[in-house]
Amino acid sequence: MSLDLAAESDGVGVRTQADGGVLAQLTLSHPELVLQPSLRRAPEVAVEPEYWTDAGDDRTLLFVTASGAEFRAFETALGIDPTVADPVLVDRGADRRSYRLELTDRAITLVEASAIVGGRLRECASCRDGWRFRIRFPDRDALVGFNDRCRDRGVSVSVDHLRPADADAEAFVPLTEKQRELLTVAYEEGYFDVPRRISQNELADRLGVSKSAVSQRLRRAIAQLCGSTLA
């Protein structure tokens, strides 16, 4: 088969939603949104879901990675979180830990609601108010449909950023609220000046967190900025 012929037959029978669309960054909040009770009890820990799977016996298992400096508080919160059961530590590093969790009947999840309206989940991470989703929708009607499904379940939706999904559109950097707060204070107080006008210890005191939390958060925020602007 020639290359031209292969190109002509590529994608036969496949509908496309790859052109146009909108990219939305949304903050979702609800007392029974999965893991939200734990996130509120351990606000110094950032959580990112890895994947979930059907265990084959009417159980859904969720794997997440947590980072931060207050794992004890987070693990204590997991033990009493009504949205999950049987938390198990499955991996650990210097400042990251991974867990396997069983979702309970009370847990609200919204990834399926995104898929139903044609959305594609790009990123998902915890934030102070709940979860921050970055979703590509085929059009604004799909975004409205997702919002309606969330509100039907009592989930609060806040649109943080919205832009065309075209590849050449200006991108936004997916910083967490805590990262953005730290960078703002660090910039305004002269942490990036030469010479520096504020130390990491002083930043930690200003924000009411530990020095290790400041160090880790700065490193991840700067890595996010570099990855988004230099990649």
Stretch 145-170: mean pLDDT: 82
User: What pTM does this model have?
Assistant: 0.67
Give the count of alpha carbons within 13 A of 45, CB side only. 28
What average pLDDT is seen over the chain?
A: 84
> Alpha-carbon torsion 115, 118, 120, 126, what sign?
negative
Higher-pLDDT residue of 166 and 192 is: 192
Q: What is the spatial distance between Cα 99 and Cα 47, in angstroms, rounded to a whole number? A: 10
pLDDT at 32: 94
* CB contact at 8 A, 160 and 132: yes
Per-residue tokens: 130: 């709940």
Count of CB atoms situated within 10 Å of the CB of 168 = 6
* CB contact at 8 A, 207 and 69: no
* Token pair 């990649």 in the structure block, residue: 231
Q: Provide the Cα torsion 150, 154, 160, 163; round to 10°.
A: 20
Would the pLDDT of 187 be above 70? Answer: yes
Per-residue tokens: 65: 């990675």
Higher-pLDDT residue of 129 and 30 is: 30
User: CA dist 9 to 15, 16, 17, 18, 19, Å?
Assistant: 14, 15, 18, 18, 19
In what side-by-side order are the strands of the sheet with 60-67?
46-54, 60-67, 96-103, 84-92
Per-residue tokens: 177: 């609220």
Q: What is the spatial distance between Cα 172 and Cα 145, in angstroms, rounded to a whole number? A: 23
Per-residue tokens: 125: 């991470």
What tens digit of pLDDT does each residue of 72-126 get?
A: 999 999 999 999 999 999 999 888 999 999 999 999 998 889 999 999 999 899 9
Stretch 162-172: mean pLDDT: 64
pLDDT at 5: 37
Q: Specify the 3-state DSSP secondary structure of 184.
A: helix
At position 86, the amino acid (one-letter code) is D
pLDDT at 108: 94
Which of 15-24, 68-77, 111-120, 222-231 is least confident?
Answer: 222-231
What tens digit of pLDDT does each residue of 199-209 get?
A: 989 998 988 88
User: CA dist 61 to 29, 54, 80, 101, 104, Å?
Assistant: 21, 6, 17, 6, 10
